[in-house]
Amino acid sequence: MKEQLEKLLTGLKKKGESKEEKKGKHNTKKKKRPQGIPIKDTSYQTGKILEMRLDESDGIVPKDGYESRRKYFVVLGEYKNDSVIGVFLINSDVNKNSINTKELIDCQFPLKEADYETILDYDSYLDCSEIMELSKIKINTLGAELGQLTDSDKGLVIDTIEKSEVIPPKQKRKFGFEDKS
């Protein structure tokens, strides 16, 4: 996986695309905007891809003066006896301002558009460097289920979590993962 990410990042550098050029490419492509299905109990299984508008209360910094941002995320697990789930965010690019060390770059898991044609408009990244905790109550009200990770990606993401030296062991255990770091 690390080699795969390095090849992707090297490929981006070789192409010489600036952030503005890449944004322009993303904006000119027709958006799929998948039709999500309503949230149900099975939506909280590990590997499910959900979407919802997130704001500062969720730990997201909205852009361009907006109050919230529509984000896709992958469910990692549900905290028992609580109304919280752990998720990783899906991003269209690696944010080099905050993802600026080798350890954090190694936590960016590539998701290929070809594997998620009904969900993604372009190759994206699952940010496995931080488990975000979101309210099930809010997701039940405002969220939608879009699909799920491929079995292969799901296995690799679980392996990434368990071997991660970036995610605290206590947080791994909270959402049902082993600490193999």
Domain layout of the chain by residue ranges: 2-174
What is the greatest pairwise CA distance in the chain?
49
Considering the domain 2-174 in this protein, what is its CATH number?
2.30.30.110
pLDDT confidence bin for 87, thresholds 50/70/90: very high
d(CA 154, CA 159): 9
pLDDT confidence bin for 98, thresholds 50/70/90: confident
pLDDT at residue 17 tops 70: no
Q: Which of 60, 70, 78, 88 is nearest to 149 (CA)?
A: 88
- pTM for the predicted model, two decimal places: 0.81
d(CA 94, CA 85): 23
- Top pLDDT among 109 and 1 is at 109
